[in-house]
Structure 1
Amino acid sequence: MSVPLRAITVFHAVARSGSITRAAEALGVTPSAVSQQVQALEVGLGTALIGKAGRHVVLTEAGERYFEMIGPEIDRIMEATQRIQGFRSVTTLTVRATPSLSTKWLLPRLSGFIAAYPDIELRLDGTNEPTAFQKESVDVEIRHGTGGWPGLFSEGLVEESFRPVCAPSFAAPGSLAAQDLPGHLLIHSVKSQVQWASWFERAGAVPAARWRRLLFDRTHMAIDAAAGGLGIALESDLMLWGDLRAGRVACPLAAPPRITLVTQWVTCPPDHLRQRKVRAFLDWLRRERDAWTAERDMRNAEQAATNL
C-alpha cells in the first residue's frame, strides 16, 4: 500500500508541534482532518505512531524513529517549495540561546549582523531548553553549561568574570567589604554556575548561617532586580555589560576576588558548519566576541588605574 506524501507531512507537523490542534492551525485544516491523515499513515505503515498524554500527543517508539528519519528531509522539501513559490526570498537562520543571553548580549548587537548579511533572515529562539537537533529546525545554539556534548561541535563563547553588582544608589562603588555583603539582601540566579557560597569562600568571608535572599531562575531578571535597587546580585560581566556601561549597576567592592569561567557554548552538529549561513553567523559572533573582550579589558584597565 502506497503512503501519500500528504499524510507524511501532516505527521511531521504533529510530531514537531506535539499537538494535533497546533498542527491543524499551521496546515490550515481541521484537527479531525489531521487525525485522519495520521491514522491513514499508521495503517499504511502497519504501526502506531502517536499516542495521548493528557491534552498532548506523544510519539511511540516507532513514531520517534520515523520522525528522526523523515524530519530533515521534510524540512528540506518544505524550504525548497517555499523558495520556488516565492514565499521566502532569503535564507532563514534559526539561532537558539538562553533568554538572558539573548536579551542582555545578543539583541543589542544584532543590527551589525543584519546589516552585514541582508540575505539571511534571522530567527532568534530564546529558551533554556537544550536543542534536540535531529528533531528541531535549529541551526545553531548558544548553550549554557560546561561544554563537551557528545556528537556536537562545541566552542566556548568567552571567558566571563563574575562580580557582585547593585544599583549605585543602593551602595556606592567600592563602599563595601566582602564581609559586609551578608548584611544586605543578596540576589541569586539559581541556575548560575557561580553561587554566593563559593564567592564568599573565594573572598575569604564567612557569612552568617542564614542570610536574606531573593531568588530568580533567569539571569536577566536578577540583573534588573539589582538595577532596580532591590539588593546585590552576583553575575557575569558578559550579561552585565550593557547595565555596567549605562551606570545602572556597579560593583560595591573596590577589589572583588577574580572568578572566571566559560558558561556559554556555541553548539551545533558538525555538518551544520558546512552551511554558509552558519559559518557567517559564527564568523560574526567571533568578531563581536573579540570586540567585546577588547572593550572590557580596556575598561577594566582604566578602572584599575583609577583605583591606584
Structure 2
Amino acid sequence: MPVPLRAITVFHAVARSGSITRAAEELGVTPSAVSQQIQTLEVGLGTALIGKAGRNVVLTEAGERYFEMIGGEIDRIMEATERIQGFRSVTTLTVRATPSLSTKWLLPRLARFLDAHPDLELRLDGTNEPTAFQKESVDIEIRHGTGGWPGLYAEGLVEECFRPVCAPALAAPGSLAPGELHRHRLIHSVKSQMQWAHWFKLAGTAPAARWRRLLFDRTHMAIDAAAGGLGIALESDLMLWDDLRSGRLACPVRDPPRTALVTQWVTCPPDHLRLRKVQAFLDWIRRERDEWARARAATL
C-alpha cells in the first residue's frame, strides 16, 4: 500500500524532537493524530519505528535507519516550502554553542557578523547538549570538551587562561596568596575542565581541609555570582573578558600560575565545510578569535 507523505513528515517531526507531544505542538495537531499517522506509516512499511521511554519516544533500529535516510530530504523539502511561502527570504545559518559562550563571548560580537553578511539569517541555539548532526538541522557547533570527536571536523577556538576572580570589593586585586583563598567562599563551575584542586596543585599549595563552596553547572552563573560578591570563581579569560575589562571582576591572587587549556572547539561534519554560509562563519570567528587574542596580550 502507498505510504502517505503526511505520515512520513509526522514521523520525521517525532524522530527529530524525541516526543509525540512536542511533534504535535510543532505540527499544530493533537498527540493522538500524530500517533495515528505513525501507526499508518508502520503498517505501510511493515515494521515498528518507535517505542516508548517514559514520556519520550525512542527509535527502533529500523526507525533509526529510516530517519537517517529521509532526514536530509525532508529538511530540504521543508526549507523549500518555507521559501515559497515567503517565510524565509534569506539563507539560515544555525549555530549551536553553550549558553555561557553564547552570552559571554558570541553575543557581544555577532553584530559584526550580521553586518558583514546581510544575506544570512542566523539562528543561535544555546545549549550544552552535543549535536547529533545526522538528526538535527545544525550547521556548526562550538562544543565544550577536549576535542577528538570521531567523524567530525574539530578546530580549537583558542587557548584559554584560567584565573581566580572576584568582585574587587571582596578582595582587592593581587591582595591574596594562593594559600589564603580558603578564607573566602570558592565558586565551582562543576563542568569546567579546570577545577580548584588542580589549580591549587599548580600554585604549589594544598587546599584547606574544609572549603566553603558554591557550585554551578553554568559558567555564566558562576561569573555573575562572583561579580555579585558571593565568592571567588575560577574561570577562563575567554568568558571573563568583558567583566575583567570593565572592572566588574579582578584577580585577587598575587602571581597566579599560568593555566592554559583549549576547551571550546568549532565542530561540524566535514561535508558542511563546503557550505558557503559555514565558511563565512568560520572566517569570521577566526578573525574575532585573533583580534581577541591580540587584545588579551596587550591588556592582561
Q: How does the TM-score come out when normalised to structure 1?
A: 0.95
CA distance in 2, matches of 1:211, 1:30: 52
- 1:34 deviates by 1.6
Amino acid at match of 1:104: K
User: What is the CA distance between 1:90 and its match in structure 2?
Assistant: 0.8
Deviates more, 1:262-271 or 1:7-16: 7-16
Q: Does 1:121 align with 2:121?
A: yes
Give the aligned partner of residue 280 of structure 1: 280
| Partner Cα distance (2:263, 2:93) in 1 | 23
TM-fit CA distance, 1:150: 0.6
Alignment of 1:41-120 (within 5 A): 41-120=41-120
> Structure 1 counterpart of 2:31, which letter?
P
1:240 corresponding residue in structure 2: 240
Question: How far apart in 1 are the matches of 2:103 and 2:153?
Answer: 24
Q: Secondary structure at the match of 1:164?
A: strand
- Once the two structures are TM-superposed, the CA of residue 241 in structure 1 deviates from its matched residue by 0.4
CA distance in 1 between partners of 2:67 and 2:157 (Å): 32
CA distance in 1, matches of 2:252, 2:54: 50
Task: For residue 150 of structure 1, give the secondary structure of its aligned residue in structure 2.
Answer: coil
Return the alpha-carbon distance in structure 1 between the equivalents of residues 6 and 97 of structure 2.
Answer: 33
3-state DSSP of counterpart to 2:72: helix
Alpha-carbon distance in structure 2 between the residues aligned to 1:25 and 1:64? 22
Amino acid at match of 2:296: R
- In structure 1, the residue matched to 2:203 is 203
Query: Using the alignment, how far apart are the partners of 2:188 and 2:28 within structure 1?
Result: 45
* C-alpha deviation, 1:165, in angstroms: 0.4
Unaligned runs of 5+ in 1: 301-308
**Is residue 192 of structure 1 aligned with residue 192 of structure 2?**
yes
1:159 equivalenced with 2:159 (yes/no): yes
Cα distance in 2 for residues equivalent to 1:47 and 1:232: 57
Counterparts of 1:268 and 1:258, CA distance in 2: 31
Q: Which runs of 4+ in 1 moved over 3 A?
A: none
1:169 alignment counterpart: 169
Task: Report how many residues are paired.
Answer: 300
Which position in structure 2 is the counterpart of 1:266?
A: 266
**Greater displacement, 25-34 / 252-261:** 25-34
SS across alignment from 1:265: strand
Which range is displaced more, 201-210 or 96-105? 201-210
CA distance in 2, matches of 1:82, 1:208: 60
Equivalent residue number for residue 217 of structure 2: 217
1:204, CA displacement in angstroms? 0.9
Which region of structure 1 is more displaced relative to structure 2, 240-249 or 14-23?
14-23
C-alpha distance in structure 2 between counterparts of 1:277 and 1:195, whole Å: 36
Deviation at 1:252, TM superposition (A): 0.5
- Between stretches 74-83 and 233-242, larger displacement belongs to 74-83
- 1:110 positional shift: 0.8
Structure 2 CA distance for aligned equivalents of residues 185 and 26 of structure 1: 45
Gaps of 5+ in 2: none
- Partner amino acid for 1:91? T
Is 1:138 the counterpart of 2:168? The answer is no
**Paired amino acid for 2:158:** V
1:296 matches 2:271: no
Match of 2:178 in 1: 178
For each residue in 1:129-152, what CA deviation from the matched residue of structure 2 results, as whole angstroms up to 9, or x when unmatched? 111100111110000001111100
Query: Aligned partners of 2:201, 2:29: CA distance in 1, in Å?
Result: 60
- Is the partner of 1:96 in helix, strand or coil? strand
What RMSD, in angstroms, separates the aligned Cα atoms of the two structures?
1.0
Aligned to 1:18: 18
Q: Which stretch shifts more, 21-30 or 117-126? A: 21-30
Higher mean Cα deviation, 51-60 or 195-204? Answer: 51-60
The alignment's TM-score, normalised by the length of structure 2, stands at 0.98
- CA distance in structure 1 between the partners assigned to 2:87 and 2:207 by the alignment: 60
Amino acid at match of 1:107: L
Partner of 1:305: none
| Partner Cα separation in structure 2 for residue 203 and residue 23 of structure 1 | 52
Shift of 1:37: 1.3
